[in-house]
Amino acid sequence: MVKYSIIIPMFLCFSTLYAGFTFVGKIKNYNVFPNKVEFTLTNANLIIYVVDQNILRFRYTNQGEFSNAPSYAVIFQQPEKVNFLFNEESDKFVIKTTELIVQIKKDPCRISIFDNKMNLLNKDDEYYGVSFDNDEVRCFKKLFDGEKFYGLGEKSDQLLKNGNQYTMWNSDFPAYNSKRDPLYVSIPFFIGIRNYRAYGIFFDNTYKSYFNMGASNKEFYWFGADKGEMDYYFIYGPQIKRVITSYTMLTGKIELPPLWSLGYQQSRWSYYPETTVRRIAQSFRDYEIPCDAIYLDIDYMDGYRVFTWDKEKFPNPTKMINDLKAKGFKLITIIDPGVKADTEYFAAKEGVENDLFVKYPNGKFYEGQVWPSWSYFPDFTYDKTINWWGDKLSILLKDGIEGFWNDMNEPAVWGQAFPDIVQFSDNGFGADHKKIHNVYALQMAKATREGVRKYSPNKRHFILTRAGFSGIQRYSAVWTGDSESNEEHLKLACIMPQNLGLSGVPFIGTDVGGFIGEPTARLYVRWMQLGSFTPFFRAHSEFNSRAKEPFAFDPNTRSLVRDIIRFRYQLLPYLYNEFYNASVTGLPIMKPMFLNYQNDENCYSYDSQLQFMLGDNLLIAPVLSSTDNFKKLYLPGGKWYSFNENKTYDGSNWIIVNAPIEQIPIFIRQGGFVPMQDVQNFVGEKKIDELQVLLFPSPKSEYQLYQDDGISYDYTSGKYSITKFSEELSNNKLKIHITTEHDGYNTGLKNYLFKILAVSAPKAVYVNNERISDNKKNDYKTNNQFNFDKEKSILNIKTNYSKKLEIQIEF
């Protein structure tokens, strides 16, 4: 890559010496279609598709024709007809949608994109534009003063991407740090923000690609790839949220996961034999620390052969799994793609006989070394392999396994370099490893998702992956790989999930406690506190490390962690609703502050990345040091209720709060509803009768709560419920309305317990216009009573559960 910056000036002087380097040239010809305009340029072809009124796709090739191979990332079908206007002017063409105006300069061909009021949003670099250097493709864009960049998936530095160059090449790098790039997941999508207005660019190219966000220059930023087409989508916001929603319209959104997968999950490398797994499970129940899933790492297999059991360590897996299921545990097995190249082993035999593995160009099966030693690699770009893999998973599904953990799927091999010449089907189009590397894990996750769905069409399973590409969110949750038990990684555990969330991957978490090394008790507690508010909440640790289950620590730590995990279970209704929102909007669950407060400069500061919004109503400010007992944090405009202190703060302020080891600062936004429930040892342990609803009243606000059975796909045929909560506070009167907006699922709830925060003693409380009595003891033997906690300024109101409810409070 360095070579290139040297070539450009030389090319300008001695163009004949660098015949491989070309600019796109000028527009020679064009053709207008109902959904696109095609241009012939001196050195390339260009198609501009109008995808939507705020989305345009720019596709260039210098190969004479465009590839017919389908995109791996994009599942959105380009509409046949889209409304737009096209005009030719003397020196340019103009495409107009209701939201965007695109000028396509004729000579040389350069793109400028404006909003419909002619505010310039984005523009090719005047001189370099799009260019080709032999196989390499590049797009140079003007870098504006004050323009900020975010996104790009799994990156371990801070959220702001300016001034650095990033590479997309899925890489296994244990014990990485904040300087290491690339890592396991590649997402060639970023968001540009200028004057608080956002656009996104998604570069749909799976080759090794590069994003230079103004590193070492202040003229332009550029993105490009070693090969393939310069094929990118421009997405206009101006809201950041809309950019992400549009990007996930193209690449897909999460499915609703099983509710239990939002519970706490326990892993290590490795729990074996069976007695150990049973002991770990029992300890969770004995100590009453909630837990829903236990992981089996590579040692459950017979010599690391996928789809097998080591019968010495696990003589009767089905019985073990069923016994644990009866105690509320789900078992999740690791699955690595490498299939041991052993002629006696059924999976290897079937793969060889049916041609399901990747090969060298000379037709010989490729063998690479991973855990099982020499192994074949399934060709997940070949339909037949995808089906076969899905069928093989049914072996474990029949044993009762409820989730799959895809690892080593970059694909990683010992020596780190899968040979580039290895051949893949590429859906029948044929490609080498250079094109497929970055989508190998995406395709493996697709095979996994389709396999479990085929085997078990109406039960949700959990899928986790280490590597991925744009679109991975539609198949799998992601964790951030082999972290270390240190403070740098504790910070990364706050920032990386936010970065992935901005990049369309909401179901994300870290190895809580750190994978490599040994956390101090305080670091462990701080990471648990943070982890309990990340969408995916699993502790995992490496081989030979000390036991890191909560009960392996001293009694005080154990009890702190029990309380942390219990709070997570209380918060499940709120959290599950955020998963529902993410499945509809594509937005993150763990949100960077600037996503919700786009016009607040403070929310873009480095410090504000060390806190986040969980949904729209909770602000979480984890302590990311093992020694601090305080937290500096920013509260955006409005008022905030401090959960730990039972007091309110005015926003638009940086504050410092006490945060002793037993506390993680949590704030509720004014107007924010937070539905909660009783603690359980696992999801489904108890029948939940009561929904607790926290509210910090505001002049006016609304909230919607989604509920379904949490396990089947029945919701896709309308079996879910949506409850709308609204509130209004004026003239010392608070009105709360609850209505059922969609009534397809019986929640089984019997009553509500409202907790109205930061209020004074009420004069009177009415439920459905009837005045209710003060239960001074706060014991609520019957519903429709209230109690005022003077010390905490909390008004508790207990009512019957009803599809329509009206509460009025006079203060």
Q: Which residues are identified as catalytic?
A: 407, 410, 482
516-554 as b/e, with b when 16 or more CB fall inside 10 Å? bbebebbbbbbbbbbbbbbbbbbbbbbeebeebbbbebe
DSSP 455-493: HSTTS--EEEES-EETTGGGT-EEE--S-BSSHHHHHHH
CB of 295 to ligand GLC, least distance (A): 9
Distance CA 534, CA 497 (A): 8
Output the residue with the shortest Cβ distance to ligand GLC. 269
- Of 242, 212, 208, 201, the closest CA to residue 226 belongs to 208
CB of 463 to ligand GLC, least distance (A): 15
CB of 299 to ligand GLC, least distance (A): 8
What is each CA distance from 651 to 634, 655, 670, in whole angstroms? 8, 9, 10
Distance CA 96, CA 85 (A): 5
144 and 151 Cβ atoms separated by less than 8 Å: no
Nearer to ligand GLC, 407 or 600 (CB): 407
For 402, the token pair is 């409820």
What is each CA distance from 662 to 210, 535, 540, 557, 642, in whole angstroms? 43, 21, 22, 9, 15
CB of 176 to ligand GLC, least distance (A): 11
- Of 133, 139, 136, the closest CA to residue 22 belongs to 133
String marking each residue 397-416 x if it binds ligand GLC according to CB under 6 A: ----------x---------
What does DSSP assign to residue 157?
Answer: S
Distance CA 618, CA 120 (A): 36
Nearer to ligand GLC, 248 or 486 (CB): 486
Nearer to ligand GLC, 238 or 513 (CB): 513
Which parts of 232-271 fold into alpha helices (H)?
240-251
End-to-end CA separation in angstroms for the chain? 68
Distance CA 154, CA 469 (A): 10
Phi, psi at 444, each rounded to 5° = -65, -40
What does DSSP assign to residue 39?
Answer: E
Distance CA 43, CA 428 (A): 28
CB of 480 to ligand GLC, least distance (A): 10
* C-alpha triplet 725, 241, 439: angle, nearest 5°: 120
Nearer to ligand GLC, 256 or 401 (CB): 401
String marking each residue 257-296 x if it binds ligand GLC according to CB under 6 A: ------------x---------------------------
CB of 749 to ligand GLC, least distance (A): 39
CB of 334 to ligand GLC, least distance (A): 5
What does DSSP assign to residue 73?
Answer: S
- Of 625, 622, 659, 626, the closest CA to residue 522 belongs to 626
Distance CA 741, CA 721 (A): 7
CB of 629 to ligand GLC, least distance (A): 32
Nearer to ligand GLC, 141 or 540 (CB): 540
304 and 335 Cβ atoms separated by less than 8 Å: no
* Total site size for ligand GLC, rule CB under 6 A: 10
Nearer to ligand GLC, 120 or 516 (CB): 516
Q: Is 298 in the site for ligand GLC (CB under 6 A)?
A: yes
Distance CA 536, CA 511 (A): 10
Phi, psi at 663, each rounded to 5° = -125, 140
CB of 298 to ligand GLC, least distance (A): 4
String marking each residue 74-113 x if it binds ligand GLC according to CB under 6 A: ----------------------------------------
- Enumerate the β-bridge partners of residue 102: 95, 113
Distance CA 488, CA 153 (A): 19
615 and 573 Cβ atoms separated by less than 8 Å: no
Nearer to ligand GLC, 182 or 665 (CB): 182
- Enumerate the β-bridge partners of residue 104: 93, 111
String marking each residue 21-60 x if it binds ligand GLC according to CB under 6 A: ----------------------------------------
Interface with ligand GLC in residues 146-175 (CB under 6 A): 174
661 and 525 Cβ atoms separated by less than 8 Å: yes
Cis ω before 273 (30° cut-off from 0): yes
CB of 624 to ligand GLC, least distance (A): 22
Selected binder of ligand GLC within 291, 334, 436, 664 (CB under 6 A): 334
Selected binder of ligand GLC within 466, 474, 568, 591 (CB under 6 A): 466
Nearer to ligand GLC, 446 or 538 (CB): 538
Nearer to ligand GLC, 483 or 701 (CB): 483
- Stated as kind and residue range, the H or E segment containing 537 is none
Distance CA 339, CA 307 (A): 10
- Enumerate the β-bridge partners of residue 315: none
Torsion angle defined by CA atoms of residues 464, 466, 469 and 472, in that order, rounded to the nearest 10 degrees: 10
CB of 271 to ligand GLC, least distance (A): 11
Selected binder of ligand GLC within 338, 481, 509, 586 (CB under 6 A): 481
766 and 808 Cβ atoms separated by less than 8 Å: yes
Tell me the pairing of strands 508-509 and 477-479: parallel
Cis ω before 174 (30° cut-off from 0): no
CB of 510 to ligand GLC, least distance (A): 11
Binding site for ligand GLC (CB under 6 A): 174, 269, 297-298, 334, 407, 466, 481-482, 540
